C-alpha cells in the first residue's frame, strides 16, 4: 500500500485486473511507491474484480484493465459493454501490450478514459492515472476515429467462421444466410481492409484480435 497522500495531491485508489500474476502484482508494487496512489487490490478476471469490489467506484477511483484476460476480453468489462447491469464504474485505463488503433477505438467507444501500453515508461502510466483520476483522458495510442476498424456483429460471425476454416456454404448454413450473402460480406471486408484472400483475412483477424473487439451494430 502507498505510504500516504502527497501534500498537494489527493489519494487515488487504484485497482488492477490482469490475468498474469507477476504483471499484476509487479505493477501494484511499482505504483504503491507513489505516495498519492493506493493500490487497493489486484484481480485476475472480471468476475473476481466484481466479487472483490474493484469495479465499485466507491472503493476504486481508477481501474487498470488488461485486454487479454485468458479466454475473455477486458473490453467486455468497459462501461459501454456492460451497460447498466453492473452499475457505475471507476474510471478505466486499458493497460495492454497491443498497440492496435482498433483497440484504442473500441476502448474509447466503450467508455475507457485511457489506453496505455505495458511497454510505456512507469512515469507515463503514473501520469495517466493522475490525469484520469482528475477527469481527463490519457490515450497513448491515438484512436483512428475511422469506423472501418469496427466489425458489425454479422461481420464478426463471418470472420470467426472463416478463422475456423469454414467454406462459404458452411458459413451460410450456420448463420442462416445464403452463400452469396457470405460472399458479399467477404468482398466488403477485403475491400475495407485491403486484403486479397480468406487466408489474409483470417491471419490479420487473429494477429490483431479483431474478434475481441465488441461489435458496433448488427
Give the mean model confidence (pLDDT) for residues 144-168. Answer: 79
At 8, the pLDDT band (50, 70, 90 cuts) reads low
Q: Cell for 213?
A: 473487439
What pLDDT shows up at residue 214?
A: 67
71-85 residue pLDDT tens: 788 888 888 876 545
Q: CA 171, CA 29: separation in Å to the nearest integer? A: 48
At 147, the pLDDT band (50, 70, 90 cuts) reads very low
CATH class of 12-139: alpha beta
At 143, the pLDDT band (50, 70, 90 cuts) reads low
What pLDDT shows up at residue 78?
A: 87
What pLDDT shows up at residue 82?
A: 67
Domain locations along the chain: 12-139, 150-212
Q: CA 165, CA 88: separation in Å to the nearest integer? A: 40
pTM score > 0.75 for this model?
A: no
Q: Reply yes or no on whether the pLDDT at 172 is more than 60.
A: yes
Write the DSSP assignment of the chain as a string of letters. Answer: --S---TTS--EEEEEE-S-HHHHHHHHHHHHTSTTEEEEEEESSHHHHHHTTTT-TTT-SEEEE-SEETTEEGGGGSHHHHTTTT----EEEEEES---HHHHHHHHHTT-SEEEETTS-HHHHHHHHHHHHTT--EESS-----GGGPPPHHHHHHHHHHHTT--HHHHHHHHTS-HHHHHHHHHHHHHHHT--SHHHHHHHHHHHTGGGSPPS--
What pLDDT shows up at residue 4?
A: 46
Q: Reply yes or no on whether the pLDDT at 131 is more than 70.
A: yes
What pLDDT shows up at residue 93?
A: 95
Give the mean model confidence (pLDDT) for residues 176-184. Answer: 92
Q: CA 126, CA 35: separation in Å to the nearest integer? A: 11
Residue in 71, 83, 62, 79 with CA at minimum distance from that of residue 132: 62
> 37 has which bridge partners?
12
What pLDDT shows up at residue 3?
A: 45
The residue among 196 and 2 whose pLDDT is bigger is 196
Q: Is the dihedral of CA 104, 106, 109, 110 positive or negative?
A: negative
Residue with cell 447491469: 85
Q: Reply yes or no on whether the pLDDT at 176 is more than 80.
A: yes
At 111, the pLDDT band (50, 70, 90 cuts) reads confident
Domain spanning 150-212, CATH architecture: Orthogonal Bundle (1.10)
Mean pLDDT score across all residues of the chain:
85
Residue in 71, 65, 75 with CA at minimum distance from that of residue 108: 75
Give the mean model confidence (pLDDT) for residues 101-117. Answer: 86
Amino acid at each position: 500500500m502507498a505510504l500516504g497522500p502527497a501534500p498537494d495531491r489527493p489519494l487515488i485508489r487504484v485497482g488492477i485486473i490482469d490475468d498474469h500474476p507477476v504483471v499484476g502484482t509487479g505493477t501494484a508494487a511499482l505504483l504503491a511507491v507513489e505516495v498519492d496512489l493506493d493500490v487497493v487490490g489486484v484481480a485476475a478476471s472480471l468476475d473476481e474484480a466484481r466479487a472483490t469490489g474493484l469495479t465499485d467506484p466507491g472503493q476504486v477511483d481508477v481501474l487498470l484493465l488488461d485486454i487479454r484476460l485468458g479466454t475473455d476480453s477486458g473490453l467486455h468489462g468497459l462501461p459501454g459493454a456492460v451497460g447498466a447491469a453492473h452499475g457505475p464504474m471507476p474510471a478505466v485505463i486499458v493497460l495492454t501490450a497491443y498497440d492496435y488503433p482498433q483497440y484504442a477505438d473500441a476502448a474509447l467507444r466503450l467508455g475507457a478514459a485511457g489506453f496505455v501500453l505495458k511497454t510505456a515508461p512507469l512515469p507515463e502510466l503514473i501520469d495517466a492515472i493522475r490525469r484520469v483520476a482528475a477527469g481527463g483522458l490519457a490515450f497513448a495510442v491515438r484512436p483512428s476515429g475511422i469506423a472501418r476498424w469496427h466489425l458489425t456483429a454479422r461481420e464478426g460471425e463471418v470472420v470467426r467462421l472463416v478463422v475456423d476454416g469454414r467454406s462459404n456454404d458452411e458459413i451460410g448454413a450456420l448463420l442462416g444466410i445464403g452463400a452469396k450473402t457470405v460472399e458479399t460480406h467477404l468482398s466488403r471486408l477485403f475491400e475495407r481492409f485491403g486484403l486479397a484472400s480468406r487466408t489474409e483475412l483470417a491471419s490479420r483477424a487473429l494477429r490483431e484480435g479483431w474478434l475481441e473487439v465488441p461489435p458496433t451494430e448488427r
